[in-house]
Amino acid sequence: MSRSTTQPFPSLLQKFFTQRLLQQRHASPCTVAAYRDSFRLLLAFAHQRLHKRPSDITIEDLNAPFILEFLRHLEQDRHNSIRSRNARFAAIRSFMEYVSFEEPSAVALTRSVLAIPMKRFEQPLVGFLSREHIEAILAAPDPHTWTGQRDHVMLVTLYNTGVRVSELIDMRVSDLVLGPTAWVRIHGKGRKERSVPLWPDTAKELKRWLRQYPRGPEEPLFPGRSGAPLTRIGFTERLKLAVQSASQQFPELARRRIFPHLVRHSVAMHMLQSAVPVTVIALWLGHESPLTTHRYVEADLQMKDKALKALQAPSRTPLRYQPKDDLLRFLQSL
């Protein structure tokens, strides 16, 4: 039975975060933060266009034409990529799905918003670094300074595990197991944990690092100078310094955009080139689906070249169908 009145938008939004995301879905802090930022942008846009304070906005204000205008604003005015636009829209879609169950009287509005499709975009080929380039970057930090020693063991751990930057800077001393079989516990996206084995050389580097600079079990494995965990921006800056130093040996590195996730891509590609099964790589990297890992197969020209050489050339050129009808010719030309 539908209700005669609709709950105020501020009440619905607060309940969406507290009940749906936190209580029912137990969403991760990263998901909550991403959704929060999306609605901050939406409310700021509504204030600019509708001249309403957030507390005065109604659910009827957030109709499909308005949401489409907001999505255009993200791309054209804020210069967001299509991927970012879709991520912001995903938060709005999730809220509208919640509203459709919470307020049946708003079903027509929510359906019109949910009918807006996600925008498709080109999937670029995955870039990666060669083993020689990786080795040069790992050897670049100054071993005579505390920051250089930290950067070296941090980059070695990054390449060994192929973790995301957020997973690397969240590592605690207690996440390490440096026994006969060394491994590290990774706290992944969406509260998914996984264990990744460490090479003997990586384990030796980490043992030396902790022996020289001992810390408590719950302290960050790779701290900043203040002792707090290194930030994402801080790690990116340290990687840039290592790349600048390595570019003296390999000048081509200075002409490339090298970012933390590129090292993760490189780990996947090097494992793939070493004939590690895609399913194992997916588990190693913490991919939710092996389909994500198949992107690396697409990018590996060496594997494609090997497959091409394994094929025999056809004995003759196959005949190609030529449409005779004008309409068929038109469709063929599209």
| Rounded-to-integer distance, Cα 184 and Cα 178, Å | 8
Of residues 152, 164, 238, 270, which has the active-site annotation?
164
Of residues 35, 98, 159, 296, which has the active-site annotation?
296
Of residues 189, 207, 256, 295, which has the active-site annotation?
189
Let me know if 264 is a catalytic residue: yes
Other C-beta atoms lying within 10 Å of the C-beta of residue 323: 12
Let me know if 287 is a catalytic residue: yes
Task: Map tokens 């840039």 to a residue.
Answer: 240
Q: Is the dihedral of CA 214, 151, 136, 177 positive or negative?
A: positive
Please check whether residue 125 is in contact with residue 115, taking contact to mean a CB–CB distance below 8 angstroms: no
The 3-state secondary structure of 229-267 reads ECCHHHHHHHHHHHHHHHCCCCHHHHHCCCCHHHHHHHH
Let me know if 296 is a catalytic residue: yes
113, with CB counted inside 10 A (0-12, 13-18, 19+), is buried
Of residues 53, 111, 119, 261, which has the active-site annotation?
261
Write the single-letter amino acid at 167: E
Of residues 73, 238, 265, 287, which has the active-site annotation?
287
Please check whether residue 71 is in contact with residue 64, taking contact to mean a CB–CB distance below 8 angstroms: no
Let me know if 270 is a catalytic residue: no
Let me know if 164 is a catalytic residue: yes
Of residues 85, 133, 264, 265, which has the active-site annotation?
264
Active site residues: 164, 189, 261, 264, 287, 296
